[in-house]
């Protein structure tokens, strides 16, 4: 189904969360009719140019990396025997490698809560850094302690953000829903005024939306204008803080999609605050889609 021929790429590190990401990526590639590319990156090779390693643990580390990569490749091939699977191992910084790989990928899939060279930072620097710099959508496979839902499952949600733009995120969410033959729930969050905030708790339960103001209605309509007529789309405006509302929505979704524009902070380029919160706390896999100016 892929017209570009670009792969779905997944970062691996030998941990169980990264193997769950392999499962997700393999299913995603199968849905798209795309090849699957497995990428392992770590700084296990500290010396180059023919010099002998000074670290006695390095030969073991090299063997461990090769074994982890082989396990991930075997798992992907068993899951989809007809898939085109390639494997690449780089003795480089994981974030740099994954950002580079994103330039030639349809989507980049990462695990979370890992403990390996890449995985141990997936609650922080690596996943956030990759999501902030990537050239393609980044899917972080979250979903509690059990097996996360397969991308073949339904319940796609889209967080519509007028500030972040949203057109690329909307297109990605629409494509994902169409691939699965499921519906799309698009949620536009309306912040409460200080006066409203004193009246009671905000709606963050993903329940029925509010009567839409013209600006909110226009934002939703613009994001969803390319939806095919055969796709069921539920658009709603919900009152509350965007982070709280979308975290609540994630509890009833199999994938939540948000857009993000690049922003520079004290620690470099990172996703916006809502995407950041979802990457750290969402109850389902999160797709962060770069919105280019």
Residue 157: is it exposed, middle or buried by C-beta count within 10 angstroms (0-12/13-18/19+)? buried
Across 71-80, 220-229, 237-246, least confident range? 220-229
Mean per-residue pLDDT over the chain, rounded: 79
Residue finishing a domain among 106, 140, 174: 140
Is the same domain home to 164 and 47?
Answer: no
Across 84-88, 134-138, 150-154, 289-293, least confident range? 150-154
Residue finishing a domain among 87, 105, 140: 140
Domain count within the chain: 2
Answer yes or no: is pLDDT of 218 > 90: no
Answer yes or no: is pLDDT of 84 > 70: yes
pLDDT at res. 43: 73
pLDDT at res. 262: 64
Is the same domain home to 110 and 212?
Answer: no
Dist. CA 262–CA 291, nearest whole Å: 8
Answer yes or no: is pLDDT of 284 > 70: yes
Task: Report residue 216 as tokens.
Answer: 């909110």
Decide which of 34 and 270 is more confident.
34
pLDDT at res. 201: 42
The CATH number assigned to the domain holding 73 equals: 3.40.50.620
Q: How confident is the model at residue 232 (pLDDT cuts 50, 70, 90)?
A: confident
Q: What is the pLDDT of residues 23-67, one digit of tens each?
A: 999 999 999 999 999 999 987 654 344 344 445 556 777 888 889
Residue finishing a domain among 140, 173, 191: 140
Going through 162-279 in order, the beta strands assigned E by DSSP cover 184-190, 233-239, 255-260, 263-265, 268-270
Q: Average pLDDT, stretch 181-202?
A: 70
Assess if residue 146 is contained within a domain. no
Is the same domain home to 192 and 262?
Answer: yes
pLDDT at res. 193: 62
pLDDT at res. 282: 93
Q: Average pLDDT, stretch 125-129?
A: 77
Strand arrangement, sheet containing 85-90: 85-90, 36-41, 8-12, 107-110, 138-140, 286-290, 255-260, 156-160, 184-190, 233-239
C-alpha neighbours within 13 Å on the C-beta side of residue 124: 6
Compute how many other C-beta atoms are within 10 angstroms of the C-beta atom of residue 72.
Answer: 26
Closest by Cα among 24, 33, 34, 9 to 88: 9
Q: Whole-structure pTM over 0.85, yes or no?
A: no
Structural domain for 90, as ranges: 8-140
Assess if residue 2 is contained within a domain. no
Is the same domain home to 129 and 168?
Answer: no
Contacts of 279 (CB under 8 A, 6+ apart): 112, 127, 128, 131, 140, 142, 271, 286, 288
């Amino acid at each position: 189904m892929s017209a570009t021929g670009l792969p779905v790429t997944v970062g691996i590190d030998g941990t169980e969360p990264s193997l769950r990401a392999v499962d997700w990526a393999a299913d995603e590639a199968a849905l798209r009719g795309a090849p699957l590319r497995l990428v392992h990156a770590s700084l296990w090779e500290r010396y180059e140019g023919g010099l002998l390693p000074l670290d006695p643990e390095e030969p073991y580390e090299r063997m461990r990396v090769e074994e982890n990569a082989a396990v991930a490749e075997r798992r992907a091939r068993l899951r989809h025997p007809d898939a085109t699977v390639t494997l690449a191992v780089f003795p480089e910084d994981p974030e740099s490698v994954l950002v580079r790989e994103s330039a030639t990928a349809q989507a980049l899939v990462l695990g979370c809560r890992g403990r390996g060279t890449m995985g141990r930072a997936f609650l922080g620097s690596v996943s956030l850094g990759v999501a902030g710099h990537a050239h393609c959508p980044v899917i972080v496979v979250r979903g509690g302690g059990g097996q996360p839902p397969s991308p073949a499952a339904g319940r796609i949600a889209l967080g519509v953000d007028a500030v972040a733009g949203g057109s690329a995120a909307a297109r990605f969410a629409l494509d994902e829903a169409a691939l699965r033959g499921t519906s799309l729930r698009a949620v536009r969050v309306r912040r409460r005024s200080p006066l409203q905030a004193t009246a009671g708790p905000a709606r963050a339960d993903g329940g029925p939306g509010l009567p839409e103001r013209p600006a909110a209605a226009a934002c939703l309509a613009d994001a969803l204008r390319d939806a095919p007529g055969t796709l069921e789309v539920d658009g709603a405006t919900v009152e509350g803080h965007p982070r709280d509302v979308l975290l609540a929505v994630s509890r009833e979704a199999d994938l939540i999609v948000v857009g993000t524009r690049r922003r520079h902070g004290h620690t470099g380029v990172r996703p916006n605050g809502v995407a950041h919160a979802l990457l750290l706390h969402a109850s389902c896999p999160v797709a962060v889609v770069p919105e280019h100016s």
